[in-house]
Amino acid sequence: MSSYTTISGRATAEIEEKKSRFIASVAHVETEEEALAFLEEIRAANRMARHNVYAYVLREGGAGAAGRVRYSDDGEPQKTAGLPTLEVIQHAGLTDIAVVVTRYFGGVLLGTGGLVRAYTQATQAGIEAAELVVVSKCVDITVRMDYSSYDQMVRLAEDCGAKTLDVQYTDRVSMVLRMLDGTQEPLLAKLTELFRGKEDVEVSEPVDAMF
């Protein structure tokens, strides 16, 4: 079962190194267009900055292609900025993420070692400020039942490791459960047993979702 770790939404963090400000902006992106749009947005918001260094890692390169990785030093000495930023992302095991580190120069040269350290620390701080989420292949199961079966259904879902996404109460109870794809068979078998084949159950196609 393939699952991967990404971030939810956006986050920012800032560090200071010898009067230079390094602001890491981090975003969840799923396509190259989204990554580049995020980069342009940060650039536009920081027009006075000396550098807007970026790196992004995408799970898919589009049209079913393999993952895509890009980075740019944006005028900093080669391998002192974009590559350290990328390496922090990869070390954290994240994908579908873009990081832009904006540098406001403070008048003191940092040297190559200082630059690598500053961009590394800024990226780490940005990722630490973000909410990490694991995305896995899941199925959603919709069960419609009489009120008399509801308590039993809740226990069954818990026992089988299903998460409840939604419950609606009308003339009957409608529950939407999420499970990791491949783990649903024991629950489906128990549902057939519980409702003696009279239950109303729908199973979605597998989807990539947080679980």
Task: Say whether pLDDT at 185 is over 50.
Answer: yes
Residues 33 and 106 in one domain: yes
pLDDT of residue 73: 96
What pTM was computed for the model?
0.76
- Boundary (domain end) residue, out of 129, 162, 180: 129
Domain that holds residue 72: 3-129
Q: Residue 208 — pLDDT band, cuts 50, 70, 90?
A: confident
Residues 96 and 193 in one domain: no
Q: Which residue type does 56 have?
A: Y
Residues 139 and 194 in one domain: yes
Residues 180 and 94 in one domain: no
Residues 107 and 143 in one domain: no
Mean pLDDT of 29-51: 94
pLDDT of residue 1: 45
Q: What is the pLDDT of residues 43-85, one digit of tens each?
A: 999 999 999 999 999 987 544 445 789 999 999 999 999 999 9
Residues 155 and 55 in one domain: no
Mean pLDDT of 92-99: 95
pLDDT of residue 63: 42
Return the CATH number at 204.
Answer: 3.30.70.260
Number of domains in the chain: 2
Residues 93 and 155 in one domain: no
| Share above pLDDT 70 across residues of the chain, in percent, rounded to a whole number | 95
pLDDT of residue 93: 92
Mean pLDDT of 120-142: 94
Residues 26 and 109 in one domain: yes
Q: Residue 195 — pLDDT band, cuts 50, 70, 90?
A: confident
> What is the pLDDT of the chain when averaged over all its residues?
91
Residues 32 and 120 in one domain: yes
Mean pLDDT of 168-175: 93
Going by C-alpha positions, the residue among 96, 83, 91, 104 that lies closest to residue 26 is 96
Residues 23 and 43 in one domain: yes
Residues 59 and 146 in one domain: no
Torsion, Cα of 105, 111, 112, 115 (10° steps): -30
| Share above pLDDT 90 across residues of the chain, in percent, rounded to a whole number | 73
DSSP result, 132-147: EEEEEEEEEEEEEE-G
Residues 31 and 112 in one domain: yes
Which secondary structure element, helix H or strand E, spans residue 68, and what is its range?
strand 68-72
- Boundary (domain end) residue, out of 129, 146, 173: 129
pLDDT of residue 61: 53
Determine the straight-line distance between the first and last CA of the chain, rounded to whole angstroms. 13
Task: Say whether pLDDT at 199 is over 80.
Answer: no
Return the CATH number at 53.
Answer: 3.30.230.30
What is each CA distance from 137 to 22, 34, 179, in whole angstroms?
37, 23, 9
